[in-house]
Amino acid sequence: MPTTQVREISAATRLDNVRYAIRDLAVLAEQVTQQGHRVLPLNIGDPLNFDFQTPAHMIEAVSKAMRDGKNGYAPSAGIKEALDAIRRQAEGKGIPNIQDIFITSGVSEAVDVCLAALLNPGENVLTPAPDYPLYSAVLAKLGVRLNPYELNEDDGWQPDLTDITRKISPRTRGIVLINPNNPTGSVCSRARLESVAELARRHNLVIFADEIYDKLILDNDPHTAMAAVARDVPVVTFGGLSKNYLAPGWRIGWGVVTGDGAAVKPYVEGINRLLRARLCANHPEQYAIRPALEGPQDHLVEINRKLRSRRDLTVKWTNSTPRVSCVPPRGAFYAFPSLDIPEGDDVFVKELLLQKHVLLVHGSGFGQRAGSKHFRIVFLPDEKTLGSAYQAIADFLRERYH
C-alpha cells in the first residue's frame, strides 16, 4: 500500500506583501450582514451599486454583437473598430505619437501586463502614496520592491517633486501617476504634470498615466492628459469603460503607448507577447467601446451633476465634524479625510463597521504616509444615504473619543 503523507502547501512568500483592503473588509461586512444588520457600503467604487445605470446604447451594442455571433476569440490586441475609436479619442485629447493601442480585461490587466513587460529583477517603479492597492499587489506578485513617493496633503495631494527626485535610482524604470486620483480625488495640475514629465525625460522613465476617471471632473478645470504634456516621453495611458461609462463588470480597459517610436518599440513588442499569451479580452463587450466613446454622452452630464452635489455634502460634513478634516476632492468619487484619533485608522474602520454598520476603508490600506491617519469615502450614494452614514460616523466619533 502507498504511504499517505499530508503536507501543508504554502503560498509563495512574495504574496505576503499583497494587500487589498477594499475587498478584504467586505469579509467582515458580510458577517455583520448575516447578523441581521444593514451595512451602508462606502467602500467600493462601483456606481451600479447606487443610482447609476450603464447607458442603454452600450448594452444594445453588446447584445447585438452576441446575437451576431461575436462570441469567439478576438484578436489579442482588440477589435479594429474599438482600437480606432480609442485612437480618435486620444488624438482628440491632444495625445500625439501613438505607437500602440491594446484592449485588456479592465485596467487591472493592463497594469499587470505593462509592469510585467518592463521590470527585471531588482528594478522598481515609483508609485504614489497613498496608492490604489492594485499597483502594490501587482508589484508584490512580480517580486518587485515597492518604491512609493508621497502625495502632499498640504498641497492638495499633488505629487511631491522633491520626494520623487529623492526616490529615483539607477534601478528605477518608471513612475505611476493616477489622475484623477484614487483614493484622494485630487486632479494633477498641468504645471505638476510638466514637472513630472521633465523628471521622466531626464531619467529615461516610462510614465504610467492611469486616467480611468478622466471624464469625472467635479470642478470647471479641464482634465489634461499626461501624454499630451509629455509628448516625447514614453507614456502608457490607461483608460476603460468601468467608471466613465458605468460598466465595471464588463472588465474592458485599454492602454495607449506614446513617445518616440524607436525608443518604445522593444517594450511594445514585449507587451504584445504577453497579450498574445493570454489570448484576448472579453470579445462582445469590445463592441461597446466605439458607441461609448463616440455615441451620446448625456450620462456624463448627469453623473457629474450628482457627484458634484455629493462631493459638496461630503466636504461640508468633514469641515463641520470634530476630529475630521479633508482636502476637497476635484475628480472621481472619492474623498480621503484625515483623522485626529488616538488609535489606528484600521481600528477606527473596523469598530465603526461593527457598531454603526457603516463600511469605509482605512487609510493605512492605501499605503499612506507613516504616522498619518485617514479613511476613504466613496460618495456615490444619494444624499439621503450619505447623510445617514455621516451622522452615524459623527455619532461614533463623539461616543468613542468623547
Longest Cα–Cα distance of the chain, Å, equals 76
**Global pTM exceeds 0.85:** yes
What is the Cα–Cα distance from 237 to 226, expressed in whole angstroms? Answer: 8
* Residue 16 clears pLDDT 80, i.e. is over it: no
pLDDT number for residue 210: 98
pLDDT number for residue 22: 64
Q: Which residue has the higher pLDDT, 26 or 199?
A: 199
Judge whether 246 and 45 are in contact, CB under 8 Å: no
Q: Residue 332, class by beta-carbon neighbours within 10 Å (0-12 exposed, 13-18 middle, 19+ buried)?
A: buried
Average pLDDT over residues 342-371: 92
Q: What is the DSSP letter of 216?
A: -
* Residue 1 clears pLDDT 70, i.e. is over it: no
CA dihedral 353, 356, 361, 362 (to 10 degrees): -90
Question: Which regions of 275-332 does DSSP assign to beta strands (E)?
Answer: 324-325
Q: What is the DSSP letter of 382?
A: -
Name the residue among 222, 215, 141, 137 with its Cα closest to residue 176: 137
pLDDT in tens, 121-165: 999 999 999 999 999 999 999 999 999 999 999 999 999 999 999
Which domains are present in the chain?
13-52+298-401 (3.90.1150.10), 56-294 (3.40.640.10)
* Residue 298 clears pLDDT 90, i.e. is over it: yes
Instruction: Supply the mean pLDDT for the chain.
Output: 94
Q: Which residue has the higher pLDDT, 280 or 33?
A: 280
Average pLDDT over residues 67-81: 97
Share of the chain above pLDDT 70, in %: 97
The β-bridge partners of 376 are 361
Share of the chain above pLDDT 90, in %: 86
pLDDT number for residue 239: 98
Judge whether 209 and 236 are in contact, CB under 8 Å: yes
**Grid cell in block for residue 385:** 444615504
Judge whether 252 and 285 are in contact, CB under 8 Å: yes
- The contacts of residue 402 (CB under 8 Å, 6+ apart) are none
pLDDT in tens, 177-222: 999 999 999 999 999 999 999 999 999 999 999 999 999 999 988 8
Classify the C-alpha dihedral 353-355-358-362 as positive or negative. Answer: negative
pLDDT in tens, 315-349: 999 999 999 999 999 999 999 999 999 999 999 99
* Residue 23 clears pLDDT 70, i.e. is over it: no
